[in-house]
Chain A
Amino acid sequence: MAKPESELTWQDLEIGSIVTEPGNASQYRTGDWRSQRPSHDFTKCIKCGLCYIFCPEGCLGQTAEGYFEADLFYCKGCGICAQECPTGAIAMQQEEE
């Protein structure tokens, strides 16, 4: 897409606001909905992947070492990962911004 969606004029829109670029929802930053962020303590992480399974946003991925970490561009801060983590490796912290 030539322009970010927030800069499109009404004339730029396709008929019926049809989206012709598949997968462009990935450009939408849902991370700024967050009031709390997950912080990961990798010394406690046993790489079980439960956080990855439970995350409703699908925003948890694995680091090169295999630890699970949230992508803060998308993470909405729901806290489900912290709730489900069996070893307490994830803690929710207030967003400062």
Chain B
Amino acid sequence: MAQRLGMEVSVALGEAVKLADADVIAAYPITPQTHIVEHLAELVADGELDAEYIPVESEHSAMSACLGAAASGARTFTASAGQGLELMHEVLYVASSMRLPIVMAVVNRALSAPLSVWGDHSDAMAVRDTGWIQLFTENGQEVVDQVLCAFRIAEDRRVLLPVMVHLDGFHLSHVIEPITLPEQTQVEQFLGTNQYPLPLHPDKPVAMGDFGPPFIYTETKWAQEVNLRKSKEVVLECWQEFGRTFKRHYQPVEGYHSEDARVLLLTMGSFSETAMAAIDRMRQNGQEVGLIRLRLWRPFPFSEFRRAVKNAELLIVLDRAISFGGPGGPVCSEIRSALYNQEKRPKIVGFVGGLGGRDITVDGFEQIITRGIEIGQTGSEQEFEIFGVRE
């Protein structure tokens, strides 16, 4: 019987990778991802996980080693954060273009300078267009569940794409939470074995990552785009099957008192749970506010998102990253784009906050919503507002 135990989320994540019986782990330690890879190194060293642990010299090498491992048909895992994710940036495109089912935990961290090891979504947004499937998580249980789902989605014959599981640095990675680890046999049944269709093997030589002259490059990119878009169906199917097996249910866009809300706040990641407390409090005061959270970031769930906001008059979007000199936070910018052609759409107000590990409290979320409503009525000359900056 699966037990509910208090454990650090990073350790639980490592246990999920063990449950998935990963074959190869190649990683370079970086705060706040360190506890994950330390735990995995320990599991491999102690013989509890029969895997090849490759301690590489950089994140660029970590992802490159993962390419080779996945290309040979191994179930492959890595984790990174912030600057590390940036260092492996170019290899991320190679992983998705070559359709290699690698799973990576990204422990979201701010980008330098100034040096910050603390959490925000700058790293996630910088890798937005790398062609990976991207999932966001709010608590420790979701992290464990989504890592398991990530392997199943990535390795599905209809998908064969790498998957990132995002979790907030420190706010989520380093906290101790009650977590249920699923039974090994159930996980084995849920995941099956990795059957990469064209693995590197001397009996059947193939060439991967070849050069693509102008006469073929467009075709390769369109094939990749169609495949990533279609992967949404498999993601949904995976979450349904996960719900049936493990009794925990996931949706690409999730609501909290959102159905009848006039005003909606949109968040991603662990701050969503604090935002829920603010929604509760404002509802008690009679305000028709609600929350929606984006779990599936890539492929973007257009239809589910449009459905989730269709009754709202105002949509307030909180970004934990800045697109410098651009139209606002990257998420808000996409939300505007997703709704632009809709006949009926809410007004959209963008905030940027929670940068570099700065907390947003329940009071803070209440202030954001209150200010958002004010801007919704009066309008604003700014593209977005930054929350909590000292002036």
Contact = CB atoms under 8 A, between A and B. Distances in A.
Interface of A: 5-6, 8-20, 22, 25, 28
14 contacts: A8-B219, A10-B218, A10-B219, A12-B219, A13-B219, A14-B198, A15-B99, A17-B97, A17-B220, A19-B206, A20-B206, A22-B205, A22-B207, A25-B210
B207 A19 contact: yes
Given A5-B215, A18-B198, A20-B198, A13 B207 contact: no
A17 B210 contact: yes
Given A10-B222, A17-B223, A19-B210, 15 more contacts: A6-B216, A8-B216, A8-B219, A10-B219, A13-B219, A15-B197, A16-B97, A16-B98, A16-B100, A16-B208, A16-B209, A17-B210, A18-B198, A18-B208, A22-B206
Given A19-B207, A22-B205, A9 B219 contact: yes
Given A10-B220, A20-B206, A22-B205, A15 B215 contact: no
B1 interface: no
B157 to A, nearest CB: 9
B205 A16 contact: no
Contacts of B197: 15
Task: Across the A-B interface, give the 3 residue pairs with the lowest CB-CB distance, nearest first.
Answer: A16-B99, A19-B207, A10-B219
Contacts of A22: 205-207
B2 interface: no
Contact of B223 (A5, A10, A19, A20): A10
Interface residues of B, number: 24
A6 B198 contact: no
B interface secondary structure, majority:
loop
Contact of B198 (A10, A11, A12, A15): A15
B160 interface: yes
B226 interface: yes
A13 B223 contact: yes
B215 A13 contact: no
B47 interface: no
Nearest to B218: A10
A19 B206 CA distance: 6
A89 B218 CA distance: 44
B66 to A, nearest CB: 14
Nearest to B100: A16
A11 B212 CA distance: 16
Nearest to B197: A15
A14 B97 CA distance: 12
A97 to B, nearest CB: 19
A17 B212 CA distance: 9
Contact of B215 (A6, A14, A19, A20): A6
A9 B210 CA distance: 17
Contacts of A9: 219
B95 to A, nearest CB: 10
B162 to A, nearest CB: 11
Contact of A10 (B160, B208, B226): B226
A14 to B, nearest CB: 7
A7 to B, nearest CB: 9
Contacts of B206: 18-20, 22
Nearest to A24: B207
